[in-house]
Amino acid sequence: MKLKIAVLAGDGIGPEIMEQGVAVCSAIAEKFGHEVSYKEALCGAHAIDEVGDPFPEETFQICEQADAVLFASVGDPKFDNNPSAKVRPEQGLLAMRKKLGLYANIRPVETFDCLIHKSPLKDEIVRGADFICIRELTGGMYFGKKMEPTVNADGIEEALDTNYYTRPEVERILRVGYQYARARRRHLTVIDKANVLASSRLWRKVAQEIEKEYPDVTTDYMYVDNAAMRMIQDPKFFDVMVTENTFGDILTDEGSVITGSMGLLPSASTGSSTPVFEPIHGSWPQGRGLNIANPLAQILSVAMLYEYFDLNKEGALIREAVNASLDANVRTPEIQTESCPEKYGTKEVGAWIVDYIRKA
């Protein structure tokens, strides 16, 4: 197969982990006889510094013309610490999702037995947890009507974010959730805040109508605050959860922590145009250039990329290599065992996995 991949390394640790992701992608292509080409593009704070736009038109064109986008991270403290900044790196990420029509974010949360000790939860609670969060990605407060902080007629400073959803937006993401549930354990949890929010009542109304079309899937409903607690008390309860943009953003970060490290979990964003594959963690600027960033989420995002094109053997070999690296204690510092005499950085972990793939 021929694949054209747009490479958006972004900010912070992005270029370092992207280097390892591309190396693994190329090793798999060579192993299985695929032809993969790459085209790099600007995004995030780096793009703002270069051209004043976090998602330039040229980057959009490169992404739109590619078969897939491999993305790393955006974000920089100089923008985080400046509330008055008119342009922010994260706006580039939102623009990419909107322009490419990426309305479905698929975030698997899976535990690794050899890293259970790194989870903040007890072994018996977290071992075996394996669920997927389907997050609606182009609606809600992130894209609704906004009003930046301003002083009103009464002299009081105010701001506004609108949590806006339409029936078609809700229907299409629910159907994605049901498709994944049918392919797994046939259990879908719809997460909302219907006791308080009108937008959530729309979600629940539509979901209760659609669930009748999927009698083979058990559907239940949970308020987002209860879901947050249930993820800590009993993460194995969940199979597939589907929720709106803001709730999904928060819950998936919570889910990543219970596995032991945010550096372990990949994601895919799909919709009407080019799909995007990326780690769920941020840019971690404090770790930039130190060769300590965990590249596994980026590498597992490459596995999801191949699997998206039904190249399941390729994805399986990447997952096998990642598991082998963990079992062999080839790990970056945040998940390394204290008793391990050898130390591995971002480059060393990536090189070990590439070598494993070539020898497989």
Phi/psi for 196 (5° steps) reads -125, -45
Neighbours of 269 (CB within 10 A): 25
* DSSP assigned state of 251: H
**How far apart are alpha carbons 142 and 7 in whole angstroms?**
24
Of the residues 11, 193, 214, 239, only one is catalytic, namely 193
Q: Which residues contact 22 (CB under 8 A, 6 or more apart)?
A: 7, 38, 70
Contact criterion met (CB below 8 Å) for 4 and 65 = yes
Of the residues 113, 225, 234, 355, only one is catalytic, namely 225
Token digits for 299? 């590498």
Residue carrying structure tokens 């790196």 = 89
Catalytic status, residue 142:
yes
Neighbours of 115 (CB within 10 A): 16
Of the residues 11, 103, 142, 165, only one is catalytic, namely 142
Q: Nearest CA to 23 among 356, 346, 354, 359?
A: 354
Of the residues 11, 165, 249, 356, only one is catalytic, namely 249
**How far apart are alpha carbons 262 and 96 in whole angstroms?**
22
Q: Which residues contact 48 (CB under 8 A, 6 or more apart)?
A: 54, 79, 87, 89, 92
Of the residues 130, 253, 308, 347, only one is catalytic, namely 253
Catalytic status, residue 193:
yes
Active site (catalytic) residues = 142, 193, 225, 249, 253
